[in-house]
Structure 1
Amino acid sequence: MQKDLLHHIGKFIPLNEAEQQLLVDRIRYEKIPKKGFLLQAGKVCSGRFFVISGCLRQYVMKENESEQIIQFGLPGWWICDHRSLENGEPSEYYVQATEVSEVAIIDAGVQEELFSKIPLLERYFRLIFQRAYDASLTRISLEYCISGEERYHQFAKNFPDFVQKIPQYMLASFLGLTPEFISIIRAKKKR
């Protein structure tokens, strides 16, 4: 499992053997059962979660008690509530496994130690955050600038395996659509 994380980090920054070992020694790994939680609303986020296998979803409960999925965590992606982690505030979000998943966790208490002992890690996370921010802006602009059907097709084109794997209601929540609307789009495609 640690090879996956080290390989991912190695795409962005070089770490020597001592730095790699320090990182491996400070990270913990966890297997999350399907529907298991890494974070629940009202709790403080305890760390950064790197998805090694499986799939996670981050969502918030709306006033009408429906779920709004904010993001998915696929293998090779990080997921957490940054505001809760950095400020020690209770989270508004849930982070839940949609299938059995394995994650590497950098606990909040270990993060600063790693940053001071491996300064390049701060650069790594800056690069990761820049990519995540860009993806968020792209998602927001798509939400406002193209139709729901176009959003679905673009997402399906970019993540074809994921669209087949994730339940339709979760995909609908993420794309701001209804499951029924996605059924109509899929039915059109089959004609």
Structure 2
Amino acid sequence: MYSALYNHINRFIDLSNDEQEILASLLKSFSFKKKAFLHEAGETCRANYFVVKGCLRLYFIDIKGAEQTTQFAIENWWISDLTSFIFQKPSDFYIQAAEATEVIIIERRNYDELFEQLPKMEKYFRLIFQKLHQASQMRIKYLYSQTAEERYTSFNSLFPEFVQRVPQYMLASYLGFTPEFLSKIRAKK
């Protein structure tokens, strides 16, 4: 049932069959239809989501009332409002299914128990969070150091699957420009 997650974890640490059973007791799985909300702004984020199939996005509403996508997650990626999840504070973000999506979740109430029962999972999540932090830093760098067209070209070469799967307005929001501008860039290609 959780084989995709076990395979992902085993890329970073080794979990025995007994440890996988302990982990399974702390997990849940859900399916969400396209456009369904897993989490809404104003709520406290109570789960960290591992995408088995599909695509999720994390976004906020800016001062002009526009959606600003800050993160996507496709198969084998984690997504959450980590600040809200870890510190149990109200969130400014939404998590929405960009496609029909299947997830495995670890709820906040089981998070500490997970680390107590499976201490090596702290290493796994440390490595995952390091990768997430690095990706966030590079995204910020690209937003400030590249033109809009360079950001699109770079993103398209690094993550071509997103360009095909994600609605244009979500991709444009993530890359820091309007859907109309994205249409002009694509028309040039």
- Classify the TM-score, shorter chain: over 0.9
Distance 2:138 2:62 in 1: 23
d(CA) in 2 for partners of 1:148, 1:166: 18
User: Which string of whole-angstrom CA distances, capped at 9 and with x for unpartnered residues, describes residues 42-90 of structure 1?
Assistant: 1010111001111001000112211000101111110001111122111
Where structure 2 has 5 or more consecutive residues not aligned to the other structure, the ranges are none
Residue 6 of structure 2 aligns with which residue?
6
Query: 1:59-98 counterparts in 2 under 5 A?
Result: 59-98=59-98
Over aligned residue pairs, what C-alpha RMSD do you find?
A: 0.8
Aligned-residue sequence identity (percent) comes to: 47
Structure 2: distance between partners of 1:165 and 1:85 = 27
Amino acid at match of 1:98: A
2:149 is matched with: 149
* One-letter amino acid matched to 2:31: K
Q: 2:39 & 2:154 partners in 1: Cα distance?
A: 30
Equivalent residue runs for 1:32-181 within 5 Å: 32-181=32-181
Q: CA deviation at 1:161?
A: 2.3
1:175 maps to amino acid: L
Moved over 4 A (4+): none
Aligned to 2:20: 20
Superposition TM-score, scaled by structure 2 size: 0.98
Return the offset for 1:170: 0.7
Could you say what secondary structure the match of 2:136 adopts? helix
Q: How does the TM-score come out when normalised to structure 1? A: 0.97
Q: SS of the counterpart of 1:89?
A: coil
